[in-house]
Amino acid sequence: MKSPISSLQWLPLILFLVISTSVLSTTTATTLFDIPRLSPLGGILQDPETVLSANVSDDFETFYYNQTLDHFNYMPESYSTFPQRYVINSKYWDGANRSAPILAYLGAEAPLDGAMYGIGFLTDNAAEFKSLLVYIEHRYYGKSIPSGSSREVAPGKASTLGYFNSAQAIADYAEIIIYLKEKLQAQYSPVIVIGGSYGGMLASWFRLKYPHVAIGALASSAPILYFDDIIPQDGYYCIVTKDFREASETCYQTIKNSWSIIDEVASKPDGLSILSKTFKTCNPLDSIYELKNYLRLMYSQVAQYNSPPHYPVTIVCGGIDGAPPETDILDKVFAGVVAYKGNSKCYVNAPENISETTVGWRWQRCTEMVIPIGITNNTMFQPSPFNLSSFTEKCRSLYGVTPRPHWVTTYYGGHDIKLVLNKFGSNIIFSNGLRDPYSSGGVLVNISESIVAVHTVNGSHCLDLQANQSTDPEWLVRQREVEVKIIKGWITQYYVDLLAFSQSQ
């Protein structure tokens, strides 16, 4: 029997990368290989690679489950197991005897540790729901790595990562939830799965694939439509541009005009040296794209996590617009960098160790998570369209694998989603903030009476999942209240159906 191994230690708060700033290709501007990360906690964790000594509450207890390596094959090696981490908080649970609910957070492309700290939606509502809280780590992240696996793989030797995909991940979640309900004798406790960003996609897909395990799903900022050309590839950067333009027309124009100035300076014999000095780079620039990618990702990050009360887009634009009138464009852009990043000895290309999280997400991007984000003439950036051939070539050089751009829509669906899910699916909340660039790939209209879209005009990425704050604006408070009301309705209906079922036996 698979039993948990209890660990009653303090949990270290391992924070993770919000956006990969390493540039895999500096020789071409036609493929945006490094896209903004789908992290639900980027707005909270501004220094994601720093390990803090903050204590996590004693209410959280860590376990490890002996997870099946391959749920979909019966080759002998498929029966191998690995320890998968999950965490339980039973402080507010009303118990199995009352069939009290279970809120299960589905981990995404990061170690699990940050979730207990940053995903406040669960802990904020646990007392009202009288629910058990369960947090499950995604395979190949954090401490849930199959034995002998390495994310640093040479081309042609990616077999150790072949079990690293979303279908295996949600099967993991199903197996752990079923095991826990049996262990706790809580087989009639309703389960609500919750996830943000990539984890939000997993939550919605989990509800569709495992409706017998979870009665509903809250999918926050889940860009499930950003695949297979369902939406225009420039959706993400169009919203980044809109965010900046709404914050400040002059800031927007400065950023838009800066790219050609960077090109002009770079074309000079000592152009890279001039740019290195202007932007106080930590090391001399090797390529113009090194600087451009840094700025592009910074603007993307501040737009994606443009959250109250600080609103980082406003901070960047404050630096740009606040420069003296005689300041040239590049110095204004640099003033925006300093305003957001703070005073530092250097910027742009500081030495860094690429985290395992970033490496893991690159593998997922190179296999099934082929999100075709590109840039057209409709934005404040220079055009850089997504090119599948170039993307495929890069993935082959890294891992020896060919991306499967149509697999997500084949396995989970996505095309004609309203027509398909109107009768097929139920009990999913797709929540979004329209200032979040990833909302361009989100579900923004109701699909049916029980598959609903809840969005706010001013919201940012996964903002509704963050802990309640006294500074939260009224629209954010209302968004969370709507989500809680819907979930309560699901649970109430479940109990009605359960009673009817028990009386019919």
- Is 47 known to be catalytic? no
- DSSP secondary-structure letter at 94? -
Considering Cα of 214, then 218, then 221, then 224, what sign does the dihedral take? positive
Task: For residue 328, give Cα distances in angstroms to 269, 288, 336.
Answer: 20, 19, 13
Helix (H) or strand (E) holding 103: strand 102-106
Among candidate residues 455, 461, 464, 472, the one labeled active-site is: 461
Quote the tokens at residue 48.
Answer: 């994601």
Q: How far apart are CA 479 and CA 299, in angstroms?
A: 26
Whether 390 is catalytic: no
| Count of beta carbons in the 10 Å neighbourhood of residue 345 | 7
DSSP label of 468: P
Distance, in Å, from the CA atom of 135 to the CA atom of 278, rounded to the nearest integer, reads 45
166 assigned to active site: no
Residue 466: count other Cβ atoms within 10 Å of its Cβ.
24
Q: Provide the token pair at 503.
A: 């009386």
Q: Cα(398)–Cα(371) distance, rounded to whole angstroms?
A: 18
Pair of tokens at residue 470: 């006294």
* Active-site residue (options: 39, 166, 189, 197): 197
CA distance 240 to 296: 10
> Active-site residue among 113, 172, 234, 436?
436
Please provide the DSSP assignment of 85-136 as one string. EEEEE-TT---GGGT--EEEEE--SS-SHHHHHH-HHHHHHHHHHT-EEEEE
Active-site annotation, residues: 197, 436, 461
